[in-house]
Amino acid sequence: MKVLILDTPDAVSARAAGLIASHVRDKPDTVLGLATGGTMETVYDRVIALHRAGEVSFAGVTSFNLDEYVGLPGDHPRSYRHYMDRKLFDHIDIDPARAHLPRGDAPDPEAVARAYENAITAAGGIDLQLLGLGANGHIGFNEPTSSLTSITRLKTLARSTRDANSRFFPDGETPPRLAITMGVGTIMQAREVLLVATGEAKAQAVAQVVEGAVSARWPGSILQMHRHATLVLDRAAAGRLELYDYLMDVHPE
Ligand code: GLP
């Protein structure tokens, strides 16, 4: 794991966006795995700015998002499809036909999950997977006790995850109980992984992911077994790492 600790959340967003852009420049027909959540909003703002500055084109890119709420149609304002359209896809030159999310409102979500896993394989697999981190250690919507070899499937969300995400449901609705998510195994198949975490609320999960035992208790800890994983953290998210000084020393900037 390469663990980069930067001063501010803003610096984290800029670095993550820069890594995504340089990856796409190196391989214009790359397959990106994309993520949602509050942390990604500022990352995507930076990606859009790089695109507008002419520094990166997504015209040849295919993307697969990690997850989607079951039961929400794509035009629902709280769906991840809606999030991705508004916060990224509408502002870059990606071909909408190649920007994939699982369909949350399909009559048979389990069939959607199976087809999604197959579509990732058919596209040649994911080159770079972007990840946030749940305060409980989840990646995608792979909650604690998720099989570390799981593939795309339905998951029941933890109460703590639904509470954390209720801030995106301001109109009295509650987050759905079920989601379709890439599995931990799906994520581990990506050739490269980039996890972004900021803020003190993530510090315990970050410490477990980086320094704890590899365990389904903290699903992100499986990234210790990935050959090419980069974590970009701010000081607050890195605040509970025993190896903080060492990590600052090996990657000073
Ligand atoms: C959500 C998403 C995850 C995301 C995580 C962190 O539940 N399914 O993919 O990484 O929670 O979200 P945030 O950045 O809002 O803390």
SS3 69: strand
Q: How many CB atoms lie within 10 A of CB 237?
A: 28
> Is the Cβ–Cβ distance between 80 and 36 less than 8 Å?
yes
Both tokens of residue 160? 């703590």
Q: Measuring from atom 3 of ligand 1, which residue has the nearest CA?
A: 140
Pocket test for ligand 1, best of 36, 83, 141, 196 (most atoms within 8 A of CB): 36
Q: Measuring from atom 1 of ligand 1, which residue has the nearest CA?
A: 37
Pocket test for ligand 1, best of 68, 136, 165, 186 (most atoms within 8 A of CB): 165
CB within 6 Å of ligand 1 — which residues? Answer: 35-39, 66-67, 132-134, 140-141, 161, 165
Q: Which of 143, 165, 226, 234 is catalytic?
A: 143
Per-residue pLDDT at 170: 81
CA distances, 203 to each of 37, 132, 149, 197 (Å) = 17, 13, 25, 9
Give, for all 253 residues of the chain, the pLDDT tens digit. Answer: 999 999 999 999 999 999 999 999 999 999 999 999 999 999 999 999 999 999 999 999 999 999 999 999 999 999 999 999 999 999 999 999 999 999 999 999 999 999 999 999 999 999 999 999 999 999 999 999 999 999 999 999 999 999 999 999 988 888 999 999 999 999 999 999 999 999 999 999 999 999 999 999 999 999 999 999 999 999 999 999 999 999 999 987 6
CA distances, 189 to each of 25, 127, 218 (Å) = 22, 9, 18
Start-end of H helices in 76-138: 80-87, 109-122
Backbone angles phi, psi at 231, to 5 degrees: -110, 130
> Is the Cβ–Cβ distance between 221 and 185 less than 8 Å?
no
Q: Sign (positive/negative) of CA torsion 209, 210, 212, 214?
A: positive
Per-residue pLDDT at 142: 98
Per-residue pLDDT at 171: 80
Domains of the chain and any CATH numbers: 2-250 (3.40.50.1360)
Pocket test for ligand 1, best of 87, 133, 182, 184 (most atoms within 8 A of CB): 133
67-124 pLDDT, tens per residue? 999 999 999 999 999 999 999 999 999 999 999 999 999 999 999 999 999 999 999 9
Q: Where are the beta strands (DSSP E) in 86-188?
A: 99-100, 128-131, 153-156, 178-181
**How much is the pTM?**
0.97
Residue 138 falls in the annotated catalytic set:
yes
Atom of ligand 1 nearest to the CA of 199: 16
> Is the Cβ–Cβ distance between 135 and 39 less than 8 Å?
no
SS3 168: helix
**Bridge partners (DSSP) listed for residue 5:** 233
Per-residue pLDDT at 20: 98
Query: How far does the centroid of ligand 1 lie from the alpha carbon of residue 138, in Å?
Result: 8
Both tokens of residue 124? 């040649």
Q: How many CB atoms lie within 10 A of CB 17?
A: 23
Per-residue pLDDT at 238: 98
Residue 253's contacts (CB-CB under 8 Å, 6 or more residues apart) are none
Residue 65 falls in the annotated catalytic set:
no
Residue 143 falls in the annotated catalytic set:
yes
